[in-house]
Chain A
Amino acid sequence: MTKPETVYVTYIAAKPEQVWQALTSGEFTKQYFFGRRMESDWKVGSPWTLWMEDGRVDCQGKVLESDPPRRLSMTWHVEWMEEFRRLPPGVVTFQLDALGDVVRLTVMESHHESIDEKYKEGGRRGWPVILCGLKSLLETGRPLPPFDMSA
């Protein structure tokens, strides 16, 4: 395993199957992932796409590991900005550990080829927001209210 560059953890009062569904279904992701829809059949080797609301592709990649509802790993390529398209893809892995009535969700991001720090800023700002939104959605049925990310 390549050493992850960033690791994010959140504990969610839900079943692993619910967390898995919230991560892999567009109906759920659009409620907490900045309006984006995640789509794939989630089979190893299959492509996945994160769609923006206006139909543009935000990110895409291939499924590397798929073990529902425990582990999902994929290559991750940012498409929506020109300068990101030239970069080698990163790898994002979701690990779900059931601990009684709670799921520990770990998100790990790694890069086989090193990329400039400035390209990692979006992920650093984005993942905590996304994970809080996911937790809020599963625990209260409501996503977090929208707010300005640059603030």
Chain B
Amino acid sequence: MVMHVDRVFKALADPSRRRLLDWLHARNGQTLGELCEDLDMTRQAVTKHLALLEAANLVATVWRGREKLHYLNPVPIHEISERWIGKYERTRLAALSALKKGLEERNDD
């Protein structure tokens, strides 16, 4: 899991790769050829970035005949947000419970 999260952050830490994701967000299910045409990047660079995004599961691919289609996969981003949303909630609940306890003790005085 830790390794997987590292891969997601590493993949997102590059502006070209974020631009690729933005582009798939705007038009999902593109081939390598389509992506190269629209983005001002060499085929080699796009291939390299897509491989990293795919390894991080941020891009999912589906074969349709001989075409490999690329899709933005938001699931790992949701998994990451879930991890910290849960933690913040627990902290907030712990703080509320401490406050309640403190107030109730004062009432007892």
A contact set with B: CB distance below 8 Å = 1, 3-11, 106, 108, 124, 127-129, 131-132, 135, 144-145, 147
Contacts and interface: CB of A to CB of B under 8 A. Distances in A.
Q: Report the 9 A-B pairs with minimum CB-CB distance, sorted nearest first.
A: A7-B71, A128-B78, A9-B60, A7-B60, A128-B75, A10-B75, A128-B74, A9-B73, A132-B78
Which of B29, B61, B75 has the most C-beta atoms of chain A within 10 angstroms of its own C-beta?
Answer: B75
B29 A5 contact: yes
B75 A6 contact: no
Interface of B: 28-29, 57, 60-62, 64, 69, 71, 73-75, 77-79, 82, 85-86, 89
Contacts of A145: 86, 89
A1 to B, nearest CB: 6
Given A108-B62, A144-B82, A145-B86, A3 B69 contact: yes
Given A108-B62, A132-B79, A132-B82, A4 B29 contact: yes
Which of A7, A124, A127, A135 has the most C-beta atoms of chain B within 10 angstroms of its own C-beta?
Answer: A7
A6 B82 contact: no
B29 A129 contact: no
A144 B79 CA distance: 10
Contacts of B62: 4, 7, 106, 108
Given A5-B28, A9-B57, A128-B75, 13 more contacts: A5-B29, A7-B60, A7-B62, A7-B69, A7-B71, A8-B60, A8-B74, A9-B60, A106-B62, A108-B62, A128-B74, A144-B82, A147-B85
